[in-house]
């Protein structure tokens, strides 16, 4: 965050009498003025405190009835459990730690809960908004999370995914991008890419751009796993990638600057951005679960965020136990409603002048994913916008590809009929065909690779992956399109406690997962050392687990923490020959 001064915020004060009434163990507290909730854990004279807010997706904690020791609380959203005595999450095990608040005694046996934080970094060097001429700032929606911004004489593009699939072959574009999309990208002065997921960092799209403008300036945040970690292997020739620190203004010209912020839940990979032109702020929170830990600028001129849900293999790709079709349908319905309410509340709290739901316009259009397409119901942007209108007077915009919003006009008069220019009559809005062939051909090429003639690839791959000393046994099964065992495919066990590959499950007590993966995708992922998001978020697996526990350390490793360079298959094959 640069050299920003640390500030102290008092969140709650307890009088000596109130402090005296605290019971041993867990206490739920609330600030009557702000309505904010806190948890305080008392062990004799030792006090620990935190916000009553789950780090996963902002749910509220309640007493955990299964906890006989009186140390843990349970989230009402996804049943995550927090041990308040250690501030560590125990379900999923080994995942997050809760941010602790400072407990400051006042000398009279009362105390305060304090939060130490840097000031909102966007408030450094504040600028007074100037009048905007009509046409001076224009925001054009292209597809999914891709926006084309005209900011005076400068053009800036967000997250260009305009051709091909994302997550191996699981996601395809819902909207037909404007026919001039490549010209638009080539005319951009700079591009912001929020994170490494392939619906934001689209190598097929960037490959086309790089042929015309390899030196186009691209900006990314300084995440723990570099956004472009796989650039060399992608074969895309881009020569001007700029990694910038979080929370520091980047000056583009005298009127334009931007600041990249990290996500509070996934700081190792997710970011969001504030763009400011002549003092008017455009806030894009992209896919962040808790952008900037929940602190964001209020009263931005324009705000955009994701809204749709459905960007996970859970629960559609799970079976066994509670995972009946009825349970999955009910879970999805409940989750989508929670997400809508959360986004509506966020917009109400931040009070932007205009709000736009985006970054959720994908479809599982490959015929083999018909089941996912039918069950993975997404939120409707109009439903969210109607909910927002019921709660506050923020202007909302559901974008269509090629539609342009004139910020100067809309700020002056939101009812101005020229404020939004829709695409011409007869413009194709939704895609009805996708060029599956070339992309599936790349995946299929991995099936017959020489690597997989030697069963020792299994040990080579998982040794390279580097995950071990964890009590979990996984059965990996290569399958056909319908998740039936692939003829002649591999079916094997991995014991992650000692990284062994036993013929049968060990006799000790152990959690167990069965992962069925389409053979073309798993072999493509293995061969190229790719992250398992292609499998999991791309709906290319079917999973069963016993007991039904989410193994955060395991999945987090294979989705985010694999080595940055792929396995050395050349050396492996030389040893095999």
Give the count of beta carbons closer than 10 Å to the beta carbon of residue 503: 6
State what percent of residues in the chain have pLDDT above 90: 84
Q: Which CATH class is domain 445-576?
A: alpha beta
Q: Model confidence over 148-201: pLDDT tens digits?
A: 999 999 999 999 999 999 999 999 999 999 999 999 999 999 999 999 999 999
CA-based torsion, 44, 46, 50, 56: positive or negative: negative
The fold adopted by the segment(s) 136-434 is Metallo-beta-lactamase; Chain A (3.60.15)
Predicted structure pTM score:
0.85
* Domain residue limits, the chain: 7-117, 136-434, 445-576
- Residue 268's nearest CA partner among 496, 567, 557 is 557
β-sheet with 111-117: strand ranges across: 7-14, 111-117, 100-105, 46-51, 37-43, 25-30
Report the alpha-carbon angle 335-337-340, nearest 5.
Answer: 110
Q: Model confidence over 221-265: pLDDT tens digits?
A: 999 899 999 999 999 999 999 999 888 899 999 999 999 998 866
Q: Model confidence over 510-563: pLDDT tens digits?
A: 999 999 999 999 999 999 999 999 999 999 999 999 999 999 899 999 999 999
Q: Model confidence over 7-36: pLDDT tens digits?
A: 568 899 999 899 999 999 999 999 999 999
Beta strands 512-518 and 473-479 are: parallel
Whether the upstream peptide bond of residue 210 has omega within 30° of 0, thus cis, is no
Strands (E), 367-465: 395-396, 404-406, 420-421
- How does DSSP assign 434-447, residue by residue? --HHHHHHHHHHTT
Q: What is the mean pLDDT of residues 341-350?
A: 94
Give the count of beta carbons closer than 10 Å to the beta carbon of residue 92: 19
Q: What is the mean pLDDT of residues 284-307?
A: 90
Tell me which of 62-66, 227-231, 257-261, 368-372 is least confident: 62-66
Q: What's the pLDDT score for residue 3?
A: 42
**Length of the chain, in residues:** 577
β-sheet with 88-91: strand ranges across: 61-63, 72-75, 81-83, 88-91
Superfamily of chain region 7-117: Rieske [2Fe-2S] iron-sulphur domain (2.102.10.10)
Q: Tell me the pLDDT band of 1, cut-offs 50, 70 and 90.
A: very low
């Amino acid at each position: 965050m640069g050299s920003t001064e640390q500030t102290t915020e008092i969140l709650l004060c307890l009088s000596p009498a109130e402090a005296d009434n605290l019971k041993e163990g867990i206490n739920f507290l609330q600030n009557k003025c702000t309505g904010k909730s806190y948890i305080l854990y008392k062990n004799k004279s030792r006090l620990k405190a935190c916000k009553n807010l789950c780090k996963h997706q902002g749910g509220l904690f309640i007493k955990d009835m299964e906890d006989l020791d009186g140390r843990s609380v349970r989230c009402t959203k996804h049943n995550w459990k927090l041990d308040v005595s250690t501030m560590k999450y125990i379900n999923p095990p080994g995942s997050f730690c809760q941010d602790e608040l400072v407990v400051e005694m006042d000398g009279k046996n009362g105390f305060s809960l304090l939060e130490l934080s840097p000031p909102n970094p966007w408030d450094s060097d504040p600028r007074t908004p100037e009048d905007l001429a009509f046409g001076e700032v224009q925001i054009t929606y292209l597809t999914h999370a891709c926006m084309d911004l005209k900011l005076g004489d400068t053009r800036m593009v967000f997250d260009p995914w305009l051709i091909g699939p994302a997550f191996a072959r699981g996601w395809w574009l819902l909207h037909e991008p404007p026919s001039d999309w490549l010209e638009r990208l080539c005319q951009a002065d700079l591009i912001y890419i929020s994170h490494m997921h392939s619906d934001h960092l689209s190598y097929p799209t960037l490959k086309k751009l790089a042929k015309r403008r390899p030196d186009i300036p691209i900006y990314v945040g300084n995440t723990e796993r570099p956004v472009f970690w796989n650039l060399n292997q992608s074969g895309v020739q881009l020569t001007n990638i700029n990694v910038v620190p979080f929370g520091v203004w980047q000056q583009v010209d005298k009127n334009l600057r931007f600041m990249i912020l990290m996500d509070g839940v996934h700081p190792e990979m997710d970011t969001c951005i504030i763009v400011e032109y002549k003092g008017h702020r455009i806030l894009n929170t992209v896919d962040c679960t808790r952008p900037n830990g929940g602190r964001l600028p209020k009263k931005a001129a324009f705000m955009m965020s994701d809204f749709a849900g459905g960007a996970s293999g859970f629960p559609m790709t799970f079976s066994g136990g509670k995972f009946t079709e009825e349970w999955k349908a009910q879970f999805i319905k409940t989750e989508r409603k929670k997400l809508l309410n959360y986004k509506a509340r966020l917009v109400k709290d931040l009070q932007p002048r205009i709000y736009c739901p985006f970054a959720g316009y994908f479809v599982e259009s490959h015929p083999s994913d018909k089941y996912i397409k039918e069950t993975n119901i997404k939120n409707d942007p109009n439903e969210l916008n109607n909910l927002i209108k019921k709660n506050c007077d923020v202007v909302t915009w559901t974008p269509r590809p090629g539609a342009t919003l004139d910020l100067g006009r809309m700020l002056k008069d939101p009812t101005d009929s020229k404020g939004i220019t829709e695409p011409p009559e007869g413009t194709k809005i939704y895609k009805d065909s996708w060029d599956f062939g070339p992309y599936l051909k790349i995946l299929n090429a991995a099936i017959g690779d020489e690597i997989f003639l030697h069963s020792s690839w299994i040990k080579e791959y998982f040794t390279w992956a580097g995950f071990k000393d964890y009590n979990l046994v996984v059965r990996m099964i290569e399958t056909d399109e319908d998740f039936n065992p692939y003829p002649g495919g591999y079916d094997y066990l991995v014991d992650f406690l000692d990284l062994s590959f036993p013929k049968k499950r060990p006799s000790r007590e152990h959690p167990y997962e069965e992962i069925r993966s389409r053979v073309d995708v798993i072999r493509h992922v293995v061969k190229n050392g790719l992250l398992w998001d292609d499998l999991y978020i791309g709906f290319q697996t079917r999973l069963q687990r016993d007991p039904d526990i989410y193994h955060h350390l395991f999945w987090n490793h294979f989705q985010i923490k694999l080595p940055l360079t792929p396995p050395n298959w050349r050396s492996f094959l030389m040893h095999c020959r």
